[in-house]
Structure 1
Amino acid sequence: MTAFLFQATIYLLAMVIAVPLATRAGMGSVLGYLCAGILIGPVLGLAGSDVTGLQHFAEFGVVMMLFLIGLELEPRALWAMRDKLIGLGGLQVVATTTAVTAIMLAFHLEFATALALGMIFSLSSTAIVLQTMNEKRLLQTEGGRSAFAVLLTQDIAVIPMLAILPLLALPGARAVARAEAGGTHPALVFVDHLPGWGVTLLTLAVVAFIIGAGHYLVRPLFRFVHMAHLREINTAMALMIVVGIASLMNLVGLSPALGTFLAGVVLADSEFRHELESDIEPFKGLLLGLFFITVGAGIEFSVITERPFQIAGLVILLVALKAGILWLLATVFKLRGPDRMLFTLSLAQAGEFGFVLVSFAVGQRILPPQIAEKVLVVIALSMLITPALFIVQEKLSKRMRPAARSADEIDDPQPIIVAGIGRFGQVVNRMVTMSGFRTTVLDTDLKTIQLMRTFGFKGYYGDPTRPDLLAAAGIAKAKVLVVSLDDRNSATRLVAYARQIRPDIHIVARARDREHVFELYRAGANDIVREMFDSSLRAGRYVLENVGLSEFEAAELEKLYFKMDRAALRELAPYWKPGVPLSENADYIHRAREMNAELEAAIMERFSHQPDATETEAETAEAAIKGKE
């Protein structure tokens, strides 16, 4: 027991130290887990003797991940993405599998081994790529959306791969593997002696049972359990579904990931979907992290030291081969410039599901252990260089960007300039123009400008922060400048420049957050609107109306909060220090707490007086706060 607790402490300590460091370095959590495993395993030798046994336990993290992926994949959503899933994603999996299989056959490997390696290396790292794209805000680009479709196809493709692998096993291979593992259950013995086609038919039968059970058994059972109104029982139910299906699949010698994925898809449109996700997510994250740590701890570094050039060559060959196929597919599907480069390099590594397929293929006696060791090292190293691939992509994409289109010539400047015509700017511009006033709209998004023109709104393409374009837009005579640029630094620079050349112009600016308010205030903006503030106030008023307050009381409280919050921002502005996070600014925090107490006291005082006094009290409170400046 003491040894177990010591090993658990080592693994958890490695998690809480290595993963945050890797995340802050931009490497992603998966690479952090792998590095933690490498550190406590091959480097320090603290992983313990039973890493393989622990990895089998941790594989439940992968099982739970596939269950959650299934919950996210509603059949209707999959059908809507069918073109990219079947076309782009399907072609990538088939082409990469075929190419790798052909190369392995050229190295005189058995066909079953070559095909298994082709399927393993056709996958990319969903966890690393999606996390990196989210951090770099690349998922909304065309290249990012295409990469996401391919990753989704790969995740789905794992399921038929797990069903195909038993067909590649030699007769009796499963029985030998089961005997070595000590499996003696009659059902396991029966399955082990089935031919490949028999295993496939059994797989289809079990899949049909899981689908039927998901529709007709799980939902009524969940409703029955829900009657207890106990969170721990709901969690137990969720775990029972995953573990029960995994046990059923193991009983007939199949992959538990296959069953749980299908169960997730079946339950994707149920009313219990979100509760299942919240119950399973903590277990999935912990066990999946443990799985990656055990993979890192189990990497045989002797394989690298014995044949360093061979391993390096295999990694380079894998990345180059996948990049070539991805580049060709991006060309066929008309991805251009930076989008093509992002799509190509972001998916050129191997993926975490490769570890699962390797383990399964070894158990089926398809991959010899000596080959499996090399494959695991190649997968891990290709994942470790993924951050470097994104850096290369970023630099190459900058060089590939086409020459900037020259700004439009502004032939009819108006007294109101709207700089930035995103969702925020569009609402402002529409309201102003429909009120009978004319505007000069500037934006760097050519597609948005062209779309505006199709609806009858006049706009000009160009960078609003350029002095020459501002001059052409009539900044010298304009009355109002609306700054609604998406980039906060550009917005602040524009406000500062406009205030410098036109001290008398009225500047209305959109702020991202509270700190951006202080930046714009210092730059010289007259009216600063936080993009979510007014909508949040309205939502808060609806909440108050539905917890017992009258519409009048809720509306008056909304006005009071609005006035006092704006007054508080003016008073807190001198406490703001550029470059210092608000959470580390002691003076700001101290004063903000005092003002929160004053605001709460004012609201409580409002309810202790007659309703019609709210406006006067709000003005008095605002004046009192201004008087302290």
Structure 2
Amino acid sequence: MENSLLANAMVYLAAAVIAVPIAKRLGLGSVLGYLMAGIAIGPWGLGLISEVEHILHFSEFGVVLLLFIIGLELDPKRLWSLRRSIFGWGGAQVGFVAAGLFAAALVFGADWKVCLVAALGLSLSSTAIALATLQERNLMATPAGSAGFSILLFQDIAAIPMIAIVPLMGAAAVEGAGGGWTDALKVVGVIATLVVAGRYLMRPVMRIIAKTDMREIFTAFALLLVISIGLLMQSVGMSMALGTFLAGVLLADSEYRHALESDLEPFKGLLLGLFFIAVGMSVDFGVFVTQPGVVIGLLAAFLSIKIGVLYLLSKPFDIPPSQRLYFAFLLSQGGEFAFVVFGAAATAGIFSAPVSSLLVAVVALSMVTTPLLLVLHDKFIAPRFIAMQQRPDDEIEAQDNPVIIAGFGRFGQIIGRLLRANQIGITVLDHDPDQIDLLRKFGFKVFYGNATRIDLMHAAGAAKAKALVVAIDDIEDSIALVDAVRREFPDLPILARARNITHYYDLMDRGVTVIERETFEGALQLGRSVLRQLGFGAFRARQAAMKFRAHNIKTVHAVYPYYKDQQQMISLAAQAREELEAMFARDAEAMRTNRRGGWD
């Protein structure tokens, strides 16, 4: 294929569009999709892009843009607030994992520089894979998610000095210590110049550009800054990555940071994807073909050491036992910065070409194993922890309280507190052990158990109770309980909470007549407050809210016979909006002709 920018861009984008959806469909994630795309179009795939020089240049450009975005998102205040977990947990993870890998590598008699650089590079995990997994599973707020985020942030910072140190080690080996120190002093001088220029020149220049009111010029200046600083760092013999990161940090500390983030956010995922495509293209699978036993052995040893160290560290990191293996699997792979560290080591002459290719293949394969390990955890390990933590239902002595509340979350608690304040006895059923233990400390009579079990309902006194309040969070469990009670206790009055309008109609289908939508009344009261804030009199605001309430309830019941007919529902909803608009228009006309002040 003719080597041209547009032709290469077409190949990259076509490969991504085809491979990523397939990977997502198979549950492998987008990162592996990009890697597969790179492998497919690279020298060991279809060979559509075969020039090694162009592959390396493209990969370097992807790293430059990736590091710029990381620096742009590094808020100094946020970094300071997380300093203990970032530098404590992150430093411990990188230090202990690197030490374990370094010791294991020395056993095989390799040169200490090779062992050290390999151990440092392999101690890093993939920020893209780990954070994407946490966000997809909504686990960022869990102990494992918080620890993982802090460690990944530290790794992103630690990768910068790693990348900077590797060329110095190579220079010292070739030129002697004097040359290495000279290069180090040059780097320090350039960094000091960048910091001073960023503090005193950056803001005025960006202010001038911002006044042009041309967003594309603003973004162009940011890219110009990134490229120029990167080239400046390269001119003193350093990787462009360090300068790019510094450029991002300088922009993150400016008042224009959010404008830049909003401009670049749509491109963030694509830039990361392009980086992984380049990584996939650069993997030398010839090493795996010629030395499959060596590659598999190194991969197994690397994963065993890293997972083992991470698991041991999870306890002092305050991660609960049920999440420790998940935490270890999540960070077990090699990271995207390992490719950069190994590339710098190969350029500096620390790694030979075969060693570099072997380590790159191990890192790439470790990325492939991560989703497989997480699937293994979900299928076999997590269910065992859930079964171990499952507590048996409480033995309930016969109760004779007039009210039974099924579900004692934020909705059920308000009802229970109101009844208890008026000295009305309640029996509460819930299935959250931690919630139950907490409520018992405050004197509530709460029992652990599945409310849909009829024997528990009998023990709770359902046969004699005057009311059952269904406040269960899960809609399916709520409906199942209503069905069970209707069969066994047909005379027991049911008052239910509806999570949404469909749930509301499902409850009506079962003959429940007292139903409250969980957000409706609260939203209505807040709406009244908004009207008062805007100058409405108290009487007028209350009248508007009550009319809206009555009209809404009337509309809900009018739509109910047709709620399974989508076309009819749309027509009725449109008609209801027109009627409500007409009502408020008449109210406004009446207010103009009647100047009485209402309650005010």
Cα deviation digits, residues 386-425 of structure 1 (max 9, x gap): 1110122221132234253334455666434333344444
Cα deviation digits, residues 144-203 of structure 1 (max 9, x gap): 3333332222222212222322332134869xxxxxxxxxxxxxxxxx997333333444
Q: Distance in 1 between matches of 2:56 and 2:468?
A: 61
Distance 1:337 1:436, change over 3 A: same
Q: Which among 425, 441, 451 is matched to residue 438 of structure 2?
A: 451
Q: Which among 391, 396, 411 is matched to residue 405 of structure 1?
A: 391
Distance 1:541 1:112, change over 3 A: farther
Bigger mean CA offset, 374-383 vs 108-117: 108-117
Cα deviation digits, residues 460-511 of structure 1 (max 9, x gap): 3334344333333333344444444444433343343334333442232242
TM-score, length of structure 2 as denominator length: 0.84
* Alignment of structure 1 residues 12-411 onto 2, 5 Å: 12-41=13-42, 44-45=45-46, 47-50=48-51, 52-171=53-172, 195-265=179-249, 268=252, 270-333=254-317, 335-394=319-378, 395-401=380-386, 402-410=388-396
Aligned to 1:618: none
Distance 1:7 1:264, change over 3 A: closer
Q: Tell me, yes or no, if the aligned pair for 1:147 and 1:347 is still in contact at 8 Å.
A: yes
Q: Distance in 2 between matches of 1:378 and 1:281?
A: 31
Q: Tell me, yes or no, if the aligned pair for 2:342 and 2:356 is still in contact at 8 Å.
A: yes
Aligned to 2:596: none
Structure 2 SS opposite 1:440: strand
Distance 1:594 1:396, change over 3 A: same
Aligned to 2:574: 597
Structure 2 SS opposite 1:442: strand
Q: Distance in 1 between matches of 2:342 and 2:300?
A: 20
Q: Which amino acid aligns with 1:417?
A: I
Q: Does residue 506 of the first structure (1) align with residue 494 of the second (2)?
A: yes
Distance 1:485 1:103, change over 3 A: same
| Displacement of 1:125 | 1.9
Q: Which among 587, 593, 596 is matched to residue 610 of structure 1?
A: 587
Q: Which among 468, 476, 498 is matched to residue 455 of structure 2?
A: 468
Q: Distance in 1 between matches of 2:545 and 2:348?
A: 66
| Displacement of 1:320 | 0.9
Q: Tell me, yes or no, if the aligned pair for 1:26 and 1:132 is still in contact at 8 Å.
A: no
Q: Distance in 2 between matches of 1:438 and 1:263?
A: 65
Distance 1:208 1:320, change over 3 A: same
Bigger mean CA offset, 199-208 vs 364-373: 199-208
Q: Which amino acid aligns with 1:506?
A: I
Percentage of matched positions with identical amino acids: 42
Distance 1:314 1:251, change over 3 A: same
| Displacement of 1:128 | 1.7
Structure 1: where are the runs of 5+ without partners? 175-191, 578-586, 615-629
Cα deviation digits, residues 423-472 of structure 1 (max 9, x gap): 44444544554566554333333333333344555533334344333333
Q: Distance in 2 between matches of 1:54 and 1:613?
A: 74
Q: Tell me, yes or no, if the aligned pair for 2:470 and 2:494 is still in contact at 8 Å.
A: no
Q: Distance in 1 between matches of 2:503 and 2:228?
A: 51
Q: Which amino acid aligns with 1:598?
A: Q
| Displacement of 1:121 | 0.8
Q: Distance in 1 between matches of 2:442 and 2:193?
A: 54
What number of residue pairs does the alignment pair up?
A: 586
Q: Which amino acid aligns with 2:155?
A: Q
Q: Tell me, yes or no, if the aligned pair for 2:563 and 2:569 is still in contact at 8 Å.
A: no
Cα deviation digits, residues 27-56 of structure 1 (max 9, x gap): 221111112222233565153233642553
Q: Distance in 1 between matches of 2:52 and 2:540?
A: 64
Q: Tell me, yes or no, if the aligned pair for 1:38 and 1:296 is still in contact at 8 Å.
A: yes
Higher radius of gyration, 1 or 2: 2
Structure 1 SS opposite 2:42: helix
Alpha carbon RMSD of aligned pairs, Å? 3.7
Q: Tell me, yes or no, if the aligned pair for 1:165 and 1:361 is still in contact at 8 Å.
A: yes
Q: Distance in 2 between matches of 1:222 and 1:538?
A: 46
Structure 2 SS opposite 1:143: helix
Q: Tell me, yes or no, if the aligned pair for 1:509 and 1:525 is still in contact at 8 Å.
A: no
Distance 1:80 1:464, change over 3 A: farther
Aligned to 1:582: none
Cα deviation digits, residues 85-111 of structure 1 (max 9, x gap): 233322111111112122222223222
Aligned to 1:581: none
Distance 1:233 1:109, change over 3 A: same
| Displacement of 1:255 | 3.3
Q: Tell me, yes or no, if the aligned pair for 2:394 and 2:447 is still in contact at 8 Å.
A: yes
Q: Distance in 2 between matches of 1:216 and 1:495?
A: 69
Q: Distance in 1 between matches of 2:526 and 2:59?
A: 43
Distance 1:572 1:163, change over 3 A: farther
Aligned to 1:494: 481
Structure 1 SS opposite 2:100: helix
Structure 2 SS opposite 1:95: helix
Q: Which amino acid aligns with 1:500?
A: R
Q: Distance in 2 between matches of 1:61 and 1:532?
A: 46
| Displacement of 1:384 | 0.9
Q: Distance in 1 between matches of 2:36 and 2:519?
A: 40
Cα deviation digits, residues 46-95 of structure 1 (max 9, x gap): 53233642553354443343343344443443344344323332211111
Structure 1 SS opposite 2:495: strand
Cα deviation digits, residues 583-619 of structure 1 (max 9, x gap): xxxx62x3454345324423442454233889xxxxx
